[in-house]
Protein backbone atom coordinates (compact mmCIF):
# COMPACT_ATOMS: atom_id res chain seq x y z
CA UNK A 1 0.00 0.00 0.00
CA UNK A 2 2.70 2.53 0.75
CA UNK A 3 4.20 1.74 -2.60
CA UNK A 4 0.90 2.37 -4.32
CA UNK A 5 0.47 5.61 -2.39
CA UNK A 6 3.96 6.58 -3.44
CA UNK A 7 3.08 5.85 -7.06
CA UNK A 8 -0.08 7.86 -6.73
CA UNK A 9 1.76 10.74 -5.13
CA UNK A 10 4.32 10.50 -7.90
CA UNK A 11 1.56 10.73 -10.44
CA UNK A 12 -0.03 13.61 -8.54
CA UNK A 13 2.28 16.28 -10.02
CA UNK A 14 0.85 15.44 -13.44
CA UNK A 15 -2.39 17.28 -12.66
CA UNK A 16 -0.25 20.16 -11.36
CA UNK A 17 1.59 20.17 -14.64
CA UNK A 18 -1.75 20.04 -16.41
CA UNK A 19 -2.84 22.86 -14.17
CA UNK A 20 0.22 24.85 -15.10
CA UNK A 21 -0.43 24.18 -18.77
CA UNK A 22 -4.04 25.16 -18.38
CA UNK A 23 -2.93 28.18 -16.36
CA UNK A 24 -0.61 29.17 -19.19
CA UNK A 25 -3.40 28.46 -21.62
CA UNK A 26 -5.88 30.50 -19.62
CA UNK A 27 -3.98 33.76 -20.18
CA UNK A 28 -4.47 33.09 -23.88
CA UNK A 29 -7.39 35.55 -23.88
CA UNK A 30 -4.86 38.26 -23.02
CA UNK A 31 -3.28 38.01 -26.46
CA UNK A 32 -6.81 37.89 -27.77
CA UNK A 33 -7.56 41.08 -25.91
CA UNK A 34 -4.47 42.68 -27.42
CA UNK A 35 -5.34 41.27 -30.78
CA UNK A 36 -8.91 42.43 -30.37
CA UNK A 37 -8.13 46.16 -30.20
CA UNK A 38 -5.46 45.70 -32.85
CA UNK A 39 -8.06 44.16 -35.09
CA UNK A 40 -10.60 46.83 -34.15
CA UNK A 41 -8.29 49.76 -34.95
CA UNK A 42 -7.45 48.76 -38.54
CA UNK A 43 -11.11 48.35 -39.47
CA UNK A 44 -11.76 51.87 -38.19
CA UNK A 45 -8.90 53.27 -40.28
CA UNK A 46 -9.79 51.16 -43.27
CA UNK A 47 -13.42 52.10 -42.76
CA UNK A 48 -12.61 55.83 -42.87
CA UNK A 49 -10.33 55.32 -45.83
CA UNK A 50 -12.94 53.35 -47.68
CA UNK A 51 -15.55 55.99 -46.87
CA UNK A 52 -13.33 58.78 -48.24
CA UNK A 53 -12.55 56.69 -51.27
CA UNK A 54 -16.22 56.01 -51.78
CA UNK A 55 -17.01 59.73 -51.49
CA UNK A 56 -14.32 60.64 -54.00
CA UNK A 57 -15.44 57.90 -56.32
CA UNK A 58 -19.01 59.09 -55.94
CA UNK A 59 -18.04 62.64 -56.87
CA UNK A 60 -16.08 61.42 -59.87
CA UNK A 61 -19.04 59.37 -60.99
CA UNK A 62 -21.31 62.40 -60.80
CA UNK A 63 -18.90 64.69 -62.60
CA UNK A 64 -18.06 62.26 -65.38
CA UNK A 65 -21.38 60.43 -65.53
CA UNK A 66 -21.98 59.22 -69.06
CA UNK A 67 -18.79 60.87 -70.34
CA UNK A 68 -17.30 59.21 -73.42
CA UNK A 69 -13.79 57.80 -73.58
CA UNK A 70 -11.30 60.40 -74.79
CA UNK A 71 -8.51 58.01 -75.63
CA UNK A 72 -8.87 58.64 -79.36
CA UNK A 73 -7.79 62.05 -80.67
CA UNK A 74 -11.07 62.44 -82.54
CA UNK A 75 -13.04 62.09 -79.31
CA UNK A 76 -10.82 64.62 -77.54
CA UNK A 77 -11.24 67.08 -80.42
CA UNK A 78 -15.01 66.72 -80.25
CA UNK A 79 -15.04 67.27 -76.48
CA UNK A 80 -12.95 70.44 -76.85
CA UNK A 81 -15.33 71.75 -79.51
CA UNK A 82 -18.28 71.19 -77.17
CA UNK A 83 -16.58 73.15 -74.38
CA UNK A 84 -15.39 76.00 -76.58
CA UNK A 85 -18.90 76.52 -77.95
CA UNK A 86 -20.21 77.56 -74.53
CA UNK A 87 -17.34 79.67 -73.13
CA UNK A 88 -17.94 83.39 -72.62
CA UNK A 89 -14.25 84.27 -72.37
CA UNK A 90 -11.14 82.57 -73.78
CA UNK A 91 -10.58 79.28 -71.95
CA UNK A 92 -7.10 78.41 -70.70
CA UNK A 93 -5.39 75.17 -71.57
CA UNK A 94 -5.09 74.10 -67.93
CA UNK A 95 -8.79 74.70 -67.29
CA UNK A 96 -9.75 72.66 -70.34
CA UNK A 97 -7.34 69.89 -69.35
CA UNK A 98 -8.74 69.74 -65.79
CA UNK A 99 -12.30 69.62 -67.10
CA UNK A 100 -11.54 66.78 -69.48
CA UNK A 101 -9.12 65.07 -67.06
CA UNK A 102 -6.41 64.97 -69.70
CA UNK A 103 -2.74 66.02 -69.71
CA UNK A 104 -2.18 69.67 -70.54
CA UNK A 105 0.28 68.77 -73.27
CA UNK A 106 -2.24 66.55 -75.04
CA UNK A 107 -4.95 69.20 -74.82
CA UNK A 108 -2.58 71.87 -76.15
CA UNK A 109 -1.68 69.66 -79.10
CA UNK A 110 -5.37 68.99 -79.81
CA UNK A 111 -6.21 72.70 -79.77
CA UNK A 112 -3.48 73.48 -82.25
CA UNK A 113 -4.62 70.59 -84.42
CA UNK A 114 -8.17 71.93 -84.42
CA UNK A 115 -7.04 75.47 -85.19
CA UNK A 116 -4.94 74.34 -88.13
CA UNK A 117 -7.76 72.15 -89.40
CA UNK A 118 -10.25 75.02 -89.43
CA UNK A 119 -7.75 77.25 -91.22
CA UNK A 120 -6.77 74.65 -93.84
CA UNK A 121 -10.40 73.89 -94.71
CA UNK A 122 -11.38 77.60 -94.58
CA UNK A 123 -14.26 76.93 -92.24
CA UNK A 124 -16.59 79.73 -91.21
CA UNK A 125 -15.27 79.56 -87.64
CA UNK A 126 -11.73 80.15 -86.49
CA UNK A 127 -10.11 78.85 -83.31
CA UNK A 128 -7.67 81.41 -81.94
CA UNK A 129 -5.44 81.76 -78.90
CA UNK A 130 -6.20 85.24 -77.56
CA UNK A 131 -4.94 86.60 -74.25
CA UNK A 132 -4.68 83.62 -71.94
CA UNK A 133 -6.96 81.15 -73.65
CA UNK A 134 -8.71 79.71 -76.70
CA UNK A 135 -12.03 80.74 -78.18
CA UNK A 136 -14.07 80.39 -81.37
CA UNK A 137 -14.39 83.43 -83.65
CA UNK A 138 -16.12 83.98 -86.95
CA UNK A 139 -13.66 83.99 -89.83
CA UNK A 140 -12.79 87.46 -91.05
CA UNK A 141 -13.58 86.46 -94.62
CA UNK A 142 -17.30 86.34 -93.73
CA UNK A 143 -17.35 89.38 -91.45
CA UNK A 144 -19.62 91.35 -93.81
CA UNK A 145 -22.42 88.79 -93.47
CA UNK A 146 -22.04 88.59 -89.71
CA UNK A 147 -22.13 92.38 -89.42
CA UNK A 148 -25.23 92.58 -91.58
CA UNK A 149 -27.00 90.04 -89.39
CA UNK A 150 -26.00 91.57 -86.05
CA UNK A 151 -26.24 95.25 -86.89
CA UNK A 152 -28.37 96.03 -89.93
CA UNK A 153 -30.93 93.33 -89.27
CA UNK A 154 -31.67 94.41 -85.73
CA UNK A 155 -31.45 98.13 -86.41
CA UNK A 156 -34.15 98.00 -89.08
CA UNK A 157 -36.49 96.28 -86.65
CA UNK A 158 -36.54 99.26 -84.29
CA UNK A 159 -39.80 101.15 -84.75
CA UNK A 160 -40.18 104.91 -84.71
CA UNK A 161 -41.65 104.68 -81.22
CA UNK A 162 -38.61 102.71 -80.02
CA UNK A 163 -36.21 105.24 -81.53
CA UNK A 164 -38.05 108.14 -79.92
CA UNK A 165 -38.10 106.45 -76.54
CA UNK A 166 -34.41 105.59 -76.86
CA UNK A 167 -33.62 109.23 -77.67
CA UNK A 168 -35.46 110.50 -74.59
CA UNK A 169 -33.61 108.04 -72.36
CA UNK A 170 -30.27 108.88 -73.94
CA UNK A 171 -30.63 112.62 -73.25
CA UNK A 172 -32.40 112.46 -69.87
CA UNK A 173 -30.75 109.44 -68.27
CA UNK A 174 -31.13 108.18 -65.69
CA UNK A 175 -34.85 108.60 -66.14
CA UNK A 176 -37.96 106.76 -65.00
CA UNK A 177 -40.56 105.22 -67.26
CA UNK A 178 -43.18 107.75 -66.19
CA UNK A 179 -41.01 110.67 -67.22
CA UNK A 180 -40.33 109.11 -70.60
CA UNK A 181 -44.07 108.61 -71.05
CA UNK A 182 -44.64 112.26 -70.10
CA UNK A 183 -42.33 113.44 -72.88
CA UNK A 184 -43.79 111.14 -75.53
CA UNK A 185 -47.38 111.44 -74.36
CA UNK A 186 -48.05 107.70 -74.69
CA UNK A 187 -47.53 104.53 -72.69
CA UNK A 188 -43.98 103.26 -73.19
CA UNK A 189 -44.07 99.98 -71.22
CA UNK A 190 -43.82 97.75 -74.29
CA UNK A 191 -41.13 99.86 -75.92
CA UNK A 192 -39.06 99.87 -72.72
CA UNK A 193 -39.20 96.08 -72.59
CA UNK A 194 -38.07 95.91 -76.22
CA UNK A 195 -35.11 98.20 -75.64
CA UNK A 196 -34.08 96.30 -72.53
CA UNK A 197 -34.31 93.03 -74.44
CA UNK A 198 -32.08 94.44 -77.17
CA UNK A 199 -29.50 95.45 -74.59
CA UNK A 200 -29.68 99.12 -75.59
CA UNK A 201 -30.88 100.31 -72.18
CA UNK A 202 -30.69 98.89 -68.68
CA UNK A 203 -31.83 99.52 -65.13
CA UNK A 204 -29.82 102.00 -63.08
CA UNK A 205 -31.37 101.86 -59.63
CA UNK A 206 -34.54 103.51 -58.37
CA UNK A 207 -35.74 107.08 -58.04
CA UNK A 208 -35.45 108.07 -54.35
CA UNK A 209 -38.58 110.23 -54.59
CA UNK A 210 -41.00 108.03 -56.50
CA UNK A 211 -39.38 104.61 -56.15
CA UNK A 212 -39.66 104.12 -59.91
CA UNK A 213 -36.97 102.23 -61.83
CA UNK A 214 -34.38 104.43 -63.50
CA UNK A 215 -33.17 103.58 -67.00
CA UNK A 216 -30.00 104.53 -68.84
CA UNK A 217 -28.27 103.56 -72.08
CA UNK A 218 -25.64 100.84 -72.27
CA UNK A 219 -22.24 100.40 -73.88
CA UNK A 220 -23.96 98.57 -76.72
CA UNK A 221 -25.94 101.73 -77.44
CA UNK A 222 -22.71 103.69 -77.87
CA UNK A 223 -21.24 100.96 -80.06
CA UNK A 224 -24.26 100.92 -82.34
CA UNK A 225 -24.11 104.70 -82.80
CA UNK A 226 -20.33 104.75 -83.13
CA UNK A 227 -19.88 107.05 -80.11
CA UNK A 228 -17.11 106.97 -77.54
CA UNK A 229 -19.22 108.58 -74.80
CA UNK A 230 -22.54 110.31 -74.23
CA UNK A 231 -20.78 113.64 -74.60
CA UNK A 232 -20.63 112.95 -78.32
CA UNK A 233 -24.43 113.07 -78.64
CA UNK A 234 -25.58 116.06 -80.75
CA UNK A 235 -27.30 118.95 -78.91
CA UNK A 236 -31.01 118.32 -78.48
CA UNK A 237 -32.17 121.40 -76.59
CA UNK A 238 -33.31 123.27 -79.74
CA UNK A 239 -35.49 120.31 -80.67
CA UNK A 240 -37.03 119.85 -77.23
CA UNK A 241 -37.37 123.32 -75.68
CA UNK A 242 -39.71 122.11 -72.93
CA UNK A 243 -37.75 118.98 -72.00
CA UNK A 244 -36.89 120.37 -68.54
CA UNK A 245 -40.57 120.38 -67.65
CA UNK A 246 -40.50 116.62 -67.16
CA UNK A 247 -38.50 117.15 -63.95
CA UNK A 248 -41.76 118.22 -62.31
CA UNK A 249 -43.71 115.15 -63.42
0.95 surpassed by pTM: no
Residue 3 has pLDDT above 70, yes or no: no
Average pLDDT over residues 186-208: 88
* Mean pLDDT across the chain: 75
User: What is the separation of C-alpha 66 from the centre of its chain, rounded to a whole number of angstroms?
Assistant: 19
Question: Which has the higher per-residue pLDDT, 157 or 221?
Answer: 221
Contact 201, 221 (CB under 8 A): yes
Contact 92, 130 (CB under 8 A): no
| Domains, the chain | 73-141 (1.10.10.10), 160-232 (1.10.10.10)
Kindly report, residue by residue over 140-186, the tens digit of the pLDDT: 899 888 887 766 655 556 788 888 899 999 998 999 999 999 888 88
Q: Among 92, 114, 113, 90, which residue's Cα sits nearest to residue 104?
A: 92
Amino acid sequence: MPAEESEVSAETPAPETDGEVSAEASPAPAPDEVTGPAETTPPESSGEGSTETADVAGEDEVETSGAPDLTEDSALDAALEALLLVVDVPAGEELLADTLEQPVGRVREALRRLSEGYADSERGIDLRYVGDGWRFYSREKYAAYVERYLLDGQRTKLTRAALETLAVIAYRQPVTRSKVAAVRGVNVDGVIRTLVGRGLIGEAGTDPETGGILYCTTELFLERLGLSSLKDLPPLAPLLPEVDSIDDV
